[in-house]
Structure 1
Amino acid sequence: MIKLTDPCIPSEVYEDIKKILQSGLLVHGKMVELFEKSVAACIGARWAIAVNSGTSALHLSLLALGVQKGDEVITSDFTFPATVNVIEAVGAKPVLIDINLATFNLNVDLIKSKITKKTKVIIPVHLFGQSADMEPILEMAKQFRVAVVEDAACAFGAKYKGRTCGTFGDLGCFSFHPKKIITTGEGGIVLTDNFSLAQTIRLLRNHGMTYKNGRVKFILPGLNNRLNEIQAALGIRQMKNLQKIIKKRRQIAKWYDASLAESPLVRIPSSPKYATHIYQAYVVLLNKKIKRDSVLKALKLKGIEAGIGTYSVHQIEYYKKKYRLVADLFKQSREALTQSVSLPIHPNLTKAEVSFVAKSLLSVLKKTHL
């Protein structure tokens, strides 16, 4: 089976983990701090706070900003539900925006009409490793005095106009899930240049706890969202290979592009001039006449693991019912939900495997389209 994703774990990490286990210091050690410093330096932020998932990164960011019941948070309808779940978790109302089908990111032209006196935050999602159009988002945020939290879960190393994603908003949130560019098994990180927000998130991730005069003090009603030492060691080793990983992913995308670009049955990913795509996922869009799920089943029979792009939140029953979401407001998101296919992409893929996947997809599409 050609895997959809396959993490690149350097062999040296096994010795690192052995040393951590022998030390007995599994949390609150130097590895997490080293990992934070490495990420902050790489991405270009003053502070990095490692947590146990990308979801926790988003959740703590909203808590640190004081988002609560009665507030509204604007974000994309086409995203993994975690983006919206954290808004719901803090008691705020998610305000969903349809996407630009060419990029799968939120349509910035629709944001302004959704801003109200209750709007507290805009969460642009850099989906599949490609930056949202940040300039107009930041302009609107400044005009209406709302915060920006970047959901950069898929975009570790991606850039917007030469600047790294996760450094534009008040806070930038990344995921280190096994499907992401680098992985810590589970894990995430929050980046910010705001000292106060950084301090608040550090407190929130560790039970609201700090030390004063050598004694424990609980400052805030925090949570346990810490990253552990073994996870951090995994991340540190992969950080050293980050640019190689991104380079290989971009090369694989070029191989796919060359094989699929001429077909009228599938549309390859497009990348605006402002974006440097790092292809956390290689997601194509099928002709409307083709039944996507049939294609996925056919590819599986050929030994190829493929999947959907992601989810349309307005189609999730909980949100659909609670906020009486109307499907006609999310036509682009709906098409992306039903017609997107995520193809295998990871640094361990060979050119021959990519060629096989592309040829198999085209063959399946032709048969399905008949």
Structure 2
Amino acid sequence: MSSDLIHALEQLEKEKGIEKDIIIEAIEAALISAYKRNFGSSQNVRVSVDRQTGDFKVYALKRVTSDPQNEYMDISVENAKKINAELDEEDMAEVEVTPKKFGRIAAQTAKQVVVQRLREAERGIIFDEFSNKEAEIVTGIVQRTEKKNVIIDLGKTEAVLAPTEQISGEEYKFNDRIKVYVIEVKRTTKGPQIMVSRTHPGLIKRLFELEVPEIHEGVVEIKSISREPGSRTKIAVYSKDDNVDPVGACVGQKGTRVQTIVDELRGEKIDIIKWSSNPQEYISSSLSPAKVVRVDISEEEKSAKVTVPDFQLSLAIGKEGQNARLAAKLTGWKIDIKSESQLRATIEQQLLNFDGGFQSAFSEDEPDEDE
């Protein structure tokens, strides 16, 4: 131990922000364990490291008594006063017991403590950095696959893309550069664990914020997102500024902005619609690209009956009901879709039922001819 250690600790304090005194206290604690382990002592000891020179000393803590029984635990009053004249019986005296061959052990112990603290500090810095990135997008490089988890290199650390957060059918090849959404950062004994996602709706939101300056600046607002990862997404946007077309801003000139996002999502279709406070307008827009003829709503049930042209019915419902399902999730309304011919047939049937009931009631009121 020497001034070289102190100089090294001062450098660490400047570069890594690890306080020198904290490391020295950790070294002192580790040296106590090392002393007892190597010299088989059960006595109470204290290790002191000089903050200026780096020199260390080991002190045994002994009880001052007129009748010493244990040389390791007790010290006579006479000998105690040689160390410190103010010591009296039943006081605790510190007696230096620094072994001559303890230097190498001390240096090795100090190195281990410094390395450990440095590692802990670096882990802490990484945790602090990425915990601030929760709900944000980060870019990484695919490294490997472990038990179906995709490990992504983020530079200073790695992130885990769990199977449940992977897009079905999407391949993650070695050295692929991809954007992921940080869903959670946890402290572990092996350092921070960063969980990321490719399926979270937040990924869509952040991608649009990156590509559309109007969203980043707050001129255009994302009101709602519904997503079936890898297949289709619907996003509702709005602007308080009447001079700004929120849909046009997101699409970009010749579709360049939205196409960049589609490319990042490897072909996932994206429908951008204009949000409206008017439920009929909002629901009608949500079923895009289908055209809607009529929307009848029930505020109490928060449900809507939507009428579309016959040739638009399959488009409005979508493959396996996807378009209608995404529209319902986007708006928060239950949506029942019928074609014009289906609506016409329903109305005609209702009229027939009404007419039949009316005729029956009328017939019951007619007098019997025999009467």
Q: Same fold (TM over 0.5)?
A: no
Select the structure that is richer in strand.
Answer: 2
With normalisation by structure 1, the TM-score equals: 0.22
Q: Rg bigger for which structure?
A: 2
